[in-house]
Amino acid sequence: MIRYHIFDHTADLGLEIYGADAGELFSNAAYAVSDTITDIHAVRMKERRSISVEGSDWDDLIVNFLREILYLVNGEGLLLRECSIAEIDRDHVLGDVHGEFFDPSRHHINLEIKAVTYHQASVSKTREGWKGRVIFDV
Amino acid sequence: MSEITIEKIDENRWMIPPVGGMRVPGIIYSSDTMIGGIGSDESPKQVANVAHLPGIVKYSMAMPDMHWGYGFPIGGVAAFDLQEGVISPGGVGYDINCGVRLMVSRLSYEDIRGRLHGLVASLFRAIPTGVGSKGSIRLTRNEEEKVLREGAGWAIKHGYGTDTDLRRTEDGGAMEGADPSCVSERALERGKQQLGTLGSGNHFLEIEVVEEIFDPVAAAALGLEVNQVAVAIHSGSRGFGYQVCDDYLVTMVKKSTALGFPLPDRQLACAYIASEQGKRYLSAMACAANYAWANRQMLMHLTQETFARALDMSPSQIGMRLVYDVCHNIAKIEEFVIDGKKKRVCVHRKGATRAFPPGHPSVPEEYRHVGQPVLIPGDMGTGSYVLVGTEKAFEETFGSTCHGAGRVMSRAQAKRVSRGRAIRREMEDRNVIVMATGKGTLHEEIPEAYKDLDAVVDVVHKAGLSRKVARLSSVGCIKG
């Protein structure tokens, strides 16, 4: 199954993310962000971080969740390989992130994502599964 | 909300009449040629969305380089009443005090022409570019707080420039009210090692040559001559600023139900300027603005050193000096005459440049007879414009004008259309030497991805929001 695809937004970057359930959607969203920033296959699973995020609804939750993922990358230099979701509901998500600290000799940064925006952020349940749309400032 | 209608007012202005919850009309500065393109994205709707915010004064405006942003359109200008109005981090942008600094030198194009490759390569080596690049200094917490309070002045104190540089920087290179205690631990952590770094994406350092002078009097005042070598730096507050915006946006989204009005877009989350939260954001924003000014001051110093080394000349032979430094992502409390009365308002400029008129006390004394210099960078390899502010901008747009060419293609689209092309060689064929850190940067930043800079500048010139002084062409460029 396709995890995500990039959609056009004039100034910024849009990602449409898919998942069979909410947990998979969020896991794929974290994957999509990391895959956009770097070549994710070059990232090893050496570090682990647990993350816990709250939100007022699904739209808010996915933005807050991706903000945390992005802070790991931009603030701590931790590139992500996989994210597993342990618990998720419309107002909170708990999970584990596996990855590795940025190593310029092995990792290449393809794109800097400055921030996750709330602009037109959405999570919806369709007949095929769950779908999320998020716009990033790049 | 209801469908957006756009009505032409005159040659360069279009109006969005207030409908639904819009408190004021929207005004878009454009031309017959460009307005069609504007209608095809969501930016007019964003102009209308901004008009919903309480305390907005006169109009929600957009400059001709406007394009679809998040929350505010890029190119958006809106002023708010200090008592009833709001401040919106999304109306400033993530890159707080993203801006442009222009320096000129004593060198002419002939002096560097044969050595341009080496010069660009030296700049590329000396100036940290790209994602997460680190500067040469690591700030202690104490020093970082000084940077946040003092801005470019901090850099001057440490030998990275002169007092003249401060005078020729908007706000003297330091915004009042900066309070590091309003900034999060995360932002402080990110700011520690990014001072003196260019960044990525559309940020650049460009070697330019003055190509054409439109206004000899103003050009003379600004020290611009045809064929002179100049350097333009486009950068901002780096990860520090992004984090400040992000932090405040989140808390404001959380408290948005308490505002007492529905937000048309969560990204427009805001706080009343007079509220505790509004004041704290302004203090944190000022810290980020100051960080950006210190950053550009250090980048200028690095540039001067590199020129001297690469060209084997003394700094006085090169004679590089600052023309001016403007910010184009900011909110500022400024005084205007509104309906015949002097009034202080909070002006958001999100991808818009201040353009204060001749005689205004904020304009450096040596430029006061011609007006505030306005620096408009173009897309990669195009060069830039120097304009000056006008009385009309002061009356009509809260002293604001455009900020650049403005994108027409998304980054993904630019990559698609330029797939397989050797952009670096194409640029060399146009006599522009380009070096970039990021794999995709050159493809994302192809000239076709942007509006025609000349067309954008013509609109603000004809609309009287600023006057053309000179056009500079690009000969070398480094990017993140």
SS3 B24: coil
pLDDT on residue B405: 87
Cα–Cα distance between B378 and B385 in angstroms, integer?
8
B197 in Cβ contact with B465 (< 8 Å): no
Q: Of A89-93, B132-136, B193-197, B279-283, which range is least confident?
A: B132-136
Cα–Cα distance between B299 and B101 in angstroms, integer?
10
- Chain A residue numbers touching B265 (CB-CB < 8 A): 118-120
- Whole domain around residue A12: which residue ranges? 4-137
Give the domains, in start order, of chain B with CATH numbers: 7-479 (3.90.1860.10)
Q: Distances in Å between the alpha carbon of A19 and those of A34, A52, A132, B168, B464?
A: 17, 20, 9, 53, 52
Mean pLDDT of A2-22: 90
Task: Name the residue facing A109 among B199, B266, B438 (closest C-beta).
Answer: B438
**B267/A64 CB distance under 8 A:** no
- Chain A residue numbers touching B43 (CB-CB < 8 A): 10
Cross-strand bridge partners of residue B347 = B79, B332
User: pLDDT per residue over B250-264, tens digit each?
Assistant: 999 999 988 998 898
Q: Distances in Å between the alpha carbon of A56 and those of A37, A62, A63, A121, B232?
A: 28, 10, 11, 13, 44
Task: Name the residue facing B67 among A10, A109, A137 (closest C-beta).
Answer: A10
In terms of pTM, does the model score above 0.90?
A: yes
Task: Name the residue facing B410 among A9, A59, A112 (closest C-beta).
Answer: A9
**A115/B94 CB distance under 8 A:** yes
Cα–Cα distance between B451 and B297 in angstroms, integer?
29
Q: Please name the residues in contact with B132: beta carbons below 8 A apart, sequence gap of 6 or more.
A: A74, A77, A102, A109, A112, B239
Q: Dihedral of the CA atoms B153, B154, B156, B158 (nearest 10)?
A: 170
pLDDT on residue B368: 98
Q: B155, B176, B177, B158: which is closest to B166 by C-alpha?
A: B155
Q: Which residue, among A6, A7, A9, A10, would best test binding to B if mutated, counting the most B CBs under 10 Å from its CB?
A: A10
Cα–Cα distance between B449 and B179 in angstroms, integer?
39
Q: Distances in Å between the alpha carbon of B320 and those of B79, B201, B282, B304?
A: 36, 26, 34, 7
**B408/A10 CB distance under 8 A:** yes
* DSSP per position, B230-285: EEEEEE--HHHHHHHHHHHHHHHHHTGGGGSS--SSGGG--EETTSHHHHHHHHHH
pLDDT exceeds cutoff 70 at A30: yes
* Shortest CA gap B70–chain A (Å): 5
Q: B241: burial class by Cβ within 10 Å (0-12, 13-18, 19+)? A: buried
Measure CA B283 to chain center: 20
Cα–Cα distance between B413 and A90 in angstroms, integer?
34
Across the A/B interface, how many CB contacts are shorter than 8 Å?
Answer: 107
**Where does the pLDDT of residue B3 fall: very low under 50, low under 70, confident under 90, or very high at 90 and above?**
confident
Residues of B with CB under 8 A from a CB of A: 41, 43, 67-71, 74, 90, 93-95, 130-132, 186, 189-190, 199-201, 239, 242-243, 245-246, 249-250, 253-254, 265-267, 269, 407-413, 438-440, 480
Q: What is the DSSP letter of B205?
A: E
pLDDT on residue B39: 64
Please state the length of chain A: 138
Percent composition of chain A: helix, strand, coil (DSSP 3-state, to 5): 25, 40, 30
Backbone angles phi, psi at B99, to 5 degrees: -165, -175
Cα–Cα–Cα angle for A59, A60, A65, rounded to 5 degrees: 105
Q: How many CB atoms lie within 10 A of CB B149?
A: 18
* Shortest CA gap A118–chain B (Å): 5
Q: Please name the residues in contact with B333: beta carbons below 8 A apart, sequence gap of 6 or more.
A: B82, B344, B345, B346, B347
User: pLDDT per residue over A38-58, tens digit each?
Assistant: 999 999 999 999 999 999 999
Tally of structural domains, chain A: 1
**A12/B69 CB distance under 8 A:** yes
User: pLDDT per residue over B146-191, tens digit each?
Assistant: 999 999 999 999 999 999 999 999 999 999 999 999 999 999 999 9
Whichever domain contains A133, its CATH number is 3.55.10.10
Backbone angles phi, psi at A123, to 5 degrees: -125, 130
Cα–Cα distance between B385 and B404 in angstroms, integer?
9
**Is A75 near chain B, with CB under 8 Å?**
yes
Cross-strand bridge partners of residue A96 = A50, A84
* B403 catalytic per annotation: yes
Q: Please name the residues in contact with B469: beta carbons below 8 A apart, sequence gap of 6 or more.
A: B213, B214, B215, B218, B219, B222, B224, B370, B373, B385, B386, B387, B388
Mean pLDDT of B240-254: 96
Mean pLDDT of B372-384: 93
* Shortest CA gap B250–chain A (Å): 8
**Where does the pLDDT of residue B1 fall: very low under 50, low under 70, confident under 90, or very high at 90 and above?**
very low
For chain B, the C-alpha Rg in angstroms (whole number) is 21
pLDDT exceeds cutoff 90 at A8: no
Catalytic residue among B301, B328, B403, B443: B403
Task: Name the residue facing B130 among A109, A118, A138 (closest C-beta).
Answer: A109
Mean pLDDT of A70-76: 94
Q: B155, B176, B455: which is closest to B330 by C-alpha?
A: B176
Q: In chain A, what's the furthest Cα-to-Cα distance? A: 44
User: pLDDT per residue over B27-68, tens digit each?
Assistant: 999 999 999 877 677 899 999 999 999 999 999 999 999 998
User: pLDDT per residue over B295-307, tens digit each?
Assistant: 999 999 999 999 9
Q: B459, B364, B441, B367: which is closest to B404 by C-alpha?
A: B459
